[in-house]
Chain A
Amino acid sequence: MRRSSRPRPGVLARSALRETIAYTLPAMILVTLMLYIPFVLSGYYALTEWNGISKTPVFIGFANFVTIFSGSPEFLKALVFTGKYALFFILLSNVLALALATVLTRGFRAVNLVRGLFFVPYIMSMTIVGFIWKFIFTQGFEHLYEFTGWGVWNYSWLGNGQLAFWSVLIVGVWQSLGFYIVLYIAGLQAVPGDVLEAASIDGANGRQRFFRVVLPLLGPSITTCVFMSLTNSLKVFDTILALTKGGPGGATYSATLEIYREAFQNNHYGLGSAKSILYFVIVLVITQLVLRFFESREVKA
Chain B
Amino acid sequence: MKKLLSVMLALAMLLSAASFAAADGSAEINIFISGPEYADAIRALIDAYKEVAPDVTINYETTQNDYPTLLKTKINAGECPDIFATTSGKEISVYKDYSYNFAGTPAADALLDSVKTVMSIGDEVHGFHYVSNFFGIVYNKAIFEECGIEFPTTFTELAADCEIIAAKGYQPFSTGFAEWWVYKHIFQHFLDAASDDPADLVAKFQAGEVKMSDYPMLYDNFFNFIDLAVKYGDSKPLETDLAGEESALGTGKAAMILGQGAWVENDLLSIDPEIQIGFNGYPVSDDPAQCQVISGSDQALRIYKDSDSLEATMDFVNFWLTSDYGKTWFADVCNVIPTVKDAKVPATAIATQGNELTAEKGAGAVAISYSTDSFHQTFGEIMQAYVGGTITKDEACAQIEQKWVELEGSAE
A and B touch in the complex (CB under 8 A): yes
Closest to B86 in A: A53
From A51, A53, A157, A261, residue with most partner B Cβ within 10 Å:
A53
A180-188, A242-250, A274-282, A288-296: which lies at the B interface?
A242-250
In the complex, are the beta carbons of A161 and B390 less than 8 A apart? yes
What 0/1 readout, one digit per residue, does chain B (190-231) give for beta carbons within 8 Å of chain A? 000000000000000000000000000000000000000000
Known: A53-B95, A248-B385. 13 other contacts (CB 8 A): A53-B98, A54-B97, A245-B180, A247-B178, A247-B180, A247-B238, A248-B384, A249-B384, A249-B391, A250-B381, A250-B385, A261-B377, A265-B374
One of B98, B180, B239, B373 near A138 (C-beta < 8 A) = B239
From B236, B241, B244, residue with most partner A Cβ within 10 Å:
B236
What 0/1 readout, one digit per residue, does chain A (233-249) give for beta carbons within 8 Å of chain B? 00000000000011111
In the complex, are the beta carbons of B95 and A246 less than 8 A apart? no
Q: Which DSSP category, helix, strand, loop or mixed, fits chain A's interface? A: loop
In the complex, are the beta carbons of B244 and A248 less than 8 A apart? no
Closest to A127 in B: B65
In the complex, are the beta carbons of A265 and B388 less than 8 A apart? no
Q: How many residues of A contact B (CB 8 A)?
A: 28
Listed from nearest, the 3 A-B pairs whose CB atoms lie closest are A249-B385, A159-B238, A249-B384
B48-56, B67-75, B272-280: which lies at the A interface?
B67-75
One of A54, A134, A247 near B381 (C-beta < 8 A) = A247
**Range of interface residues on B (Cβ < 8 Å):** 20 to 34
Return chain A residues, CB-CB under 8 Å to B387.
249
Return chain B residues, CB-CB under 8 Å to A260.
69
- CB of B57 within 8 Å of the partner chain: no
Which residues on B are within 8 Å of A, measured CB to CB? 65, 68-69, 72, 75-76, 94-95, 97-98, 178, 180, 236-241, 244, 372-374, 377-378, 381-382, 384-388, 390-391, 407
Known: A53-B75, A247-B180, A248-B384. A156 touches B97 (CB 8 A): no
The complex places the Cα of A52 from the Cα of B374 at a distance, in Å, of 13
In the complex, are the beta carbons of A266 and B239 less than 8 A apart? no
What 0/1 readout, one digit per residue, does chain A (65-78) give for beta carbons within 8 Å of chain B? 00000000000000
What 0/1 readout, one digit per residue, does chain A (157-176) give for beta carbons within 8 Å of chain B? 11111000000000000000
In the complex, are the beta carbons of B239 and A161 less than 8 A apart? no
One of B69, B75, B236, B385 near A156 (C-beta < 8 A) = B236
Q: Count how many pairs of residues, one from A and one from B, have CB atoms less than 8 Å apart in the complex.
A: 83
Nearest CB of chain A from residue B182's CB, rounded to whole Å = 12
Return chain A residues, CB-CB under 8 Å to B384.
247-250
Closest to A269 in B: B72
The complex places the Cα of A257 from the Cα of B312 at a distance, in Å, of 40
One of A55, A161, A264 near B72 (C-beta < 8 A) = A264
The complex places the Cα of A157 from the Cα of B378 at a distance, in Å, of 22
The complex places the Cα of A245 from the Cα of B68 at a distance, in Å, of 15
In the complex, are the beta carbons of A51 and B180 less than 8 A apart? no
In the complex, are the beta carbons of A134 and B76 less than 8 A apart? no
Return chain A residues, CB-CB under 8 Å to B240.
138
The complex places the Cα of A127 from the Cα of B36 at a distance, in Å, of 15
Return chain A residues, CB-CB under 8 Å to B178.
158-159, 247-248
Known: A137-B239, A159-B237, A264-B69. A53 touches B390 (CB 8 A): no
Closest to A138 in B: B239
In the complex, are the beta carbons of A158 and B238 less than 8 A apart? yes
In the complex, are the beta carbons of A53 and B72 less than 8 A apart? yes
